[in-house]
Every structure is written in C-alpha cells, then in structure tokens.
Structure 1
Amino acid sequence: MTEPVISLKDARLSLPGNAGIVDILNGISLDVALGETLGLVGPSGSGKSSLLMVMGGLERATGGSVMVLGRDMTALGEDDLALFRRDNMGVVFQSFHLIPTMTALENVAVPLELAGARDAFDRAAEELRAVGLGDRVDHYPSQLSGGEQQRVALARAAAPRPRILLADEPTGNLDGATGDAIMDLLFGLRDRHGATLVLVTHSRELADRCDRVIRLRDGRLDTLAQAAE
C-alpha cells in the first residue's frame, strides 16, 4: 500500500483567545492518498481552514502528529517549514494575496525565483497562458478583475510544480460564472501537474467534483454526517 501523502494522527490545535485557550481542532485522524482530491466542508467555525493550515504547516499542531511527504511538520522550525512549502506545496487562498507593486508575470515568478529557477519568467509566462492570461502578463493586480487575480494566484501556486495543492475557498470571493471557471482551472492544474489537491469549500458543486469529501463540525470529523451519505 502506498504511503499517504498527508497523514494526521489525533491532530489538535489550541490557540489563545480573549477568554482563554480555544480548542480549534480536537483530535483529527486522516490520511490523504497520492493524487487524491479531498474536499473539506462544514459550517463556518468548524475548523476547515485551520485543518488546511495545519496540513500546510502554516499553523503548527499543538498535539498529535502531522506527517506530510514523510516529514513531521510539528518538528520543523519556521525556516525549514518555509523551505518545505516552497519545494512541495502550492497554496491558494480566498483572498488573492498578490503583491500589488508587481505585474502578473512577476507575481507568478516569485516562488520560482526563490527556488533558484533560472527560467522563472519563462515558466511564469507558461502558467499564465495556461490560465488564459497570456495577454495580461504586464498588468498589475489593480488592473485585473477578481477572477483574473485569482487566476494569477492559481498560476503562482502551480508554477513550481508542487506535489500538493492546498486551496482555501478559492471561489469564495467570485461570482457564479467566474467561480465555475476557476474550478475548471483548479482541477485542470491538478490534472496537468499530477498534484494531490486538498480544498476547503462551501460550494456543493465544487465538493462534488472531489474524489472524497470530509465534513467537520466543532473541530472534529463529522462521522455521523458521513455515515448517513
């Protein structure tokens, strides 16, 4: 049996709040297989985005284990986590997080340049063409629509050819038609690069396109909801 790409065992996340420590994830055990597309769904505040952030090392689990590509994410320092993400992960957020003073081409080239790729701008241009923005490479984020900015963010995430793509509500800020186009692009990038895809979504249509859907409630896997399906 192939070793899972992502493996969580009793993963927990507790963070300080105004009224004391808040338990956000309460013992999540979950494996994600190579090439799988996994949807994380559930009500607001259920822990979906926090679970995704723990998988990506953007939040450090405060209990249990988080193994990604055979590495213990809880044992890595901040610098090592950043390097690990750079070399293995692409992350897409609901907010586009583009650098406003850089063109679309420059935004997409950033992770490639950080990785020392000599052909960073050629590869960035290729990814922008793949998301339908070959004629917008010299435009700044302020000159692009929301859908176009999300396309740039997708291209930036995919350009380093990550083994894992993480997406947090990638269509949440977009209208229906634009969101549908972004969904097609996201799955197209997954197929083109053979990445494992984990995404958080409130969209039933987007969740239905995943190989598997996990529901969360109150920081736990909602096993009753999943058993009822």
Structure 2
Amino acid sequence: MINLVDLRLDLVGAAGQVSILKGVDLQVPAGSAVSVVGPSGSGKSSLIAVIAGIERATGGQVVVDGVDLATLDEDGLSRFRRGRLSILFQSFHLIPTLSALENVAVPLELMGRRDALTRAADALAEVGLAHRVDHYPGQMSGGEQQRTALARAIVTEPSILLADEPTGNLDRANGEHVMDLVFDLRKKLGTTLLLVTHDAALAQACDWTCRMEDGRIVTPPDSWSNPSSAGQVLAGAPA
C-alpha cells in the first residue's frame, strides 16, 4: 500500500523556493493499479519521485509498503528500493555500455544475488527479448529498450511498480505492447502499480484514476469507487 498524508514538496531554484506538491492525500491499496493524470507541471513526476524516495518530502507523511520513508537515511532508501520498489521511466535509463542482459541483472547484483544473470535472462524472455540478451541499448529500437527497462523493473519481483510516462517516447503500437506486458506482469506478480500518464486509454485500464492540478489532487472525495470496477476514479483515502 502507498499512503500519503498532507504530502508537501518545496524545491529551491533560481527564482527562489517553489511549492511543487501542496498537501497531497492519497491511498493506493496493495495490489491495485492507479493512474495519475493531469497537465504538465502539475506535480505528477514529483509525486513519483517522493514515493520512490528520490526526493525528500518537505512535509507530511509518506508510507510505502508499511515503511515511513522519513525514518530512512540514504542507504536505507537505497536498500528499500532494491527490495520492494521499481521504477519504469519514460527515457529508459539503460546503461549504454552494458548489454541487455547485464542491464537487467544490475539490481539483482546490487542485492548480492548469485543467480542474477539467470534471472535476468528469464525476465528478458518474459518480455519477448530472449534473442536480444547480448545486444547493447544503441543496437535496439525504442520499444526494445523500454521492454528491457521493464524486464529490469520486474526482475526483483517488486511489491510496487512506479511508471512515469512509460510510453511517452514510443509510437502507439510499441506503447500498447509495453503496457500490455506491464499489466500482464503486474497481475502475475500481484504488484501494486502507480502509473503517471497522459494517455486516456491507459488511465482507464487501471482500477482508479486520480487527477492532479497545480500540485494537488483535485478529484472530488466522493468519487472513491469499488476497487473491482476498472476505470473508476480515486481521490485521497477511502472513507
């Protein structure tokens, strides 16, 4: 479960302090799929960064998979991400000097897993890239790179997957293929999915959708719906 209470994030830039997240309350039930939509600059990617522990909240509470992130130091946050949480980015973030197999094996190697390469090969096979294990990112198409990034994200069998515009750099056919894999693998692993997207069809494929504007969730509180109904709307925590 992801539980955010009065979450605030202020960042300091050239123009001074800027409020990015302005009191976000949100609960994502374990095993569910929730999409976050809204205009560019509304705080969606910052929300992902705070939940992942990449950015430290300025105020409020962030509890992810039962862990209050405020209680963890940087090493603790790194260990937490390795064991429980994965992120799928828009821009792939593959290491260009490593093969697909080596890229996928990285999180397992950081965990000290001796079977890292074997499990990485299995994960690449899951996303249809068994024939690309020895290829480098520059030798693969955008769709293949994103599938490699997906294999890396799921190879640790995370309890939570955060996806930040994962189809933003892909054409529609490749984007649909990647997201079909995301939803299939999520169901197989029982993973909680929080998906930031501008794609209305992707948003509706989730159990709930919440909308952000100007650093706040603006969907009305009475729109919380039964989690068994896909495509419904989520705002804050259930009553």
User: Shared fold by TM > 0.5?
Assistant: yes
Q: Secondary structure at the match of 1:39?
A: strand
Q: State percent identity of aligned pairs.
A: 59
Aligned match of 2:27 in 26, 31, 51? 31
Q: Secondary structure at the match of 1:199?
A: strand
Cα distance, 1:171 vs. partner?
Answer: 0.1
Aligned match of 1:116 in 112, 130, 135? 112
Distance, in Å, in 2 between the alignment partners of 1:44 and 1:182 is 22
Worse-superposed segment, 152-161 or 71-80: 71-80
1:37·1:198 contact (CA, 8 Å) conserved in 2? yes
Q: Secondary structure at the match of 1:135?
A: helix
Aligned match of 1:188 in 180, 184, 187? 184
Distance change in 2, residues 1:182/1:225 (3 Å): farther
Aligned match of 2:18 in 17, 22, 31? 22
Q: Secondary structure at the match of 2:57?
A: coil
What letter corresponds to residue 184 of structure 1 in structure 2?
D
Equivalent in the alignment of 2:161? 165
Q: Deviations over 1:110-161 (max 9, x none)?
A: 1011111111111100110010000000000000000000000000000001
Moved over 6 A (4+): none
Q: Secondary structure at the match of 2:31?
A: coil
Aligned match of 2:199 in 203, 206, 211? 203
Distance, in Å, in 2 between the alignment partners of 1:39 and 1:200 is 6
Q: Gaps spanning 5+ residues in structure 1: where?
A: none
Distance, in Å, in 1 between the alignment partners of 2:116 and 2:95 is 17
Cα distance, 1:75 vs. partner?
Answer: 2.4
Distance, in Å, in 2 between the alignment partners of 1:66 and 1:215 is 19
Query: Equivalences for 1:204-223 in 2 at 5 Å?
Result: 204-223=200-219
Equivalent in the alignment of 2:226? none
Query: Equivalences for 1:14-163 in 2 at 5 Å?
Result: 14-163=10-159
What letter corresponds to residue 45 of structure 1 in structure 2?
G
What letter corresponds to residue 133 of structure 2 in structure 1?
V
Worse-superposed segment, 68-77 or 131-140: 68-77
Q: Gaps spanning 5+ residues in structure 2: where?
A: 224-232, 234-239
Q: Deviations over 1:92-117 (max 9, x none)?
A: 10001101111000000010111111
1:168·1:200 contact (CA, 8 Å) conserved in 2? yes
Distance, in Å, in 2 between the alignment partners of 1:111 and 1:69 is 19
Q: What number of residue pairs does the alignment pair up?
A: 224
Cα distance, 1:226 vs. partner?
Answer: 8.2
Distance, in Å, in 2 between the alignment partners of 1:157 and 1:89 is 8
Alignment TM-score, normalising by the size of structure 1: 0.95
Distance change in 2, residues 1:92/1:184 (3 Å): same
1:215·1:225 contact (CA, 8 Å) conserved in 2? no
Q: Secondary structure at the match of 1:24?
A: strand
1:215·1:226 contact (CA, 8 Å) conserved in 2? no
